[in-house]
Amino acid sequence: MASSAPLGFGIIGLGLIADFHAQAIAEATGAKLVAVCGRSAEKSRAFAQKYGAAFSTTDLADFLARPDLDVVCIATPSGAHLEPALAAARAGKHIVIEKPIEITLARVDALLAGVAAAGVKLMPIFQARFGDGARTVKATVSAGRLGRLSLAGAYVKWQRTPAYYADSWHGTFALDGGGAMMNQGIHAIDLLQWFAGLPSEVFSWNTRRVHTGIEVEDTAVASLRFPDGALGTIEATTAAYPGWARRIELCGENGSVVLQDDRILRWDFRTTEPGDAAILAAKPDDSMRAGASAPGAMSHQGHLRQIENFVAAIRDGASLAVDGPEARKAVALILALYASAQSGRSVQL
Q: Give tens-digit pLDDT for 204-217.
A: 999 999 999 999 99
Taking the C-alpha atoms of residue 82 and residue 85, their distance in angstroms, rounded to an integer, is: 5
Residue 289 confidence class, pLDDT cut points 50, 70, 90: confident
The whole-number average pLDDT for the span 277-281 is: 91
For 321, list phi and psi in degrees, rounded to 5.
Answer: -70, -25
pLDDT score at 296: 85
Buried b or exposed e, range 44-69, using 16+ CB within 10 angstroms: bbebbeebebebbbeebeebbebebb
Residue 219 confidence class, pLDDT cut points 50, 70, 90: very high
- Provide the mean pLDDT of the chain: 96
The whole-number average pLDDT for the span 199-206 is: 98
Nearest CA-CA partner of 154 in 225, 239, 260, 61 = 260
Local structure of residue 239 (DSSP, 8 states): B
Nearest CA-CA partner of 152 in 182, 197, 184 = 197
Paired residues of 348 in beta bridges: 201
pLDDT score at 3: 60
Is the confidence at residue 243, as pLDDT, over 80? yes
Is the confidence at residue 1, as pLDDT, over 50? no
pTM of the model: 0.96
Q: Is 62 helix (H, G, I), strand (E, B) or coil?
A: helix
Q: How many residues does the chain have?
A: 349
Is the confidence at residue 146, as pLDDT, over 90? yes
Q: Which residues contact 114 (CB under 8 A, 6 or more apart)?
A: 85, 86, 89, 90
Q: Which domains does the chain have, with CATH numbers?
A: 7-124 (3.40.50.720), 130-293+329-348 (3.30.360.10)
Residue 283 to residues 132, 258, 271, Cα–Cα distance (Å):
12, 15, 23
Taking the C-alpha atoms of residue 173 and residue 156, their distance in angstroms, rounded to an integer, is: 20
Are 262 and 131 in contact, with CB atoms under 8 Å apart? yes
